[in-house]
Structure 1
Amino acid sequence: MSDTPDILDTHAAAAEAGVCYDTFRKQWRAWSDPAHPAFCQFPAPCRYPPPGQRGTYGWRRSAVAEWKLHRERAFGAAHIQPRGVHVSRQKAASALTPAVLRLRAELARIMERME
């Protein structure tokens, strides 16, 4: 991690976003690319490794926290589970994608028609 407290490395940004490191490492580009179908408006890194070299990316803690707040407002508190029920953070985060929420709403409409 950088000596600047507002800059997060990949591990810390994954923890802040609430997903496992491997998921974050493989998906952050899709989350921040508007042309990608999985676009989630995730903030792009504020620090890149030098061109042609391997290195660390850096995200602003404030930008990731703001993204997280917007996601929580958009999806409500539906991700909160009752005590005693264990759901992994990764599973809970993947269950709140817009596509899953649309499918849930569609299923609810179908079930209402069947009653």
Structure 2
Amino acid sequence: MSYKFTKDHEWVLLEGDVATIGISDYAQGQLGDVVYVEVPEVGKEISKADELAVVESVKAASEVYSPVSGEIVAVNSELEGEPTMVNEDAMDKGWFAKIKITDASELDDLMDEEAYKAFIEGLE
């Protein structure tokens, strides 16, 4: 499965019925040096567009919103001790949470990599 993106720069990678969520490389670049990440609790039910995580950088604090609904089944607790992983590897090791999704059709609203690249080019 390939990455899907939101207009708020979150990414989703679906494996079976579990979606891994993080922020895009573009987003981490806009934030600057990440100094703190607050991840959600495992077991929490979350709805699409709910706040999933908080990222604080030297520039600002930003909320990360969930692109899908479901139950949080894992979080990247390493980010609490090493928030710079978001800057170093936003699209892999810098993930925030894994959600067992309840409605796969929510992914239909997201952009593929090509559409997302065009979207961010329009922002620059």
Larger Rg: 1
Larger helix percent? 1
TM-score normalised by L of structure 2:
0.26
Larger strand percent? 2
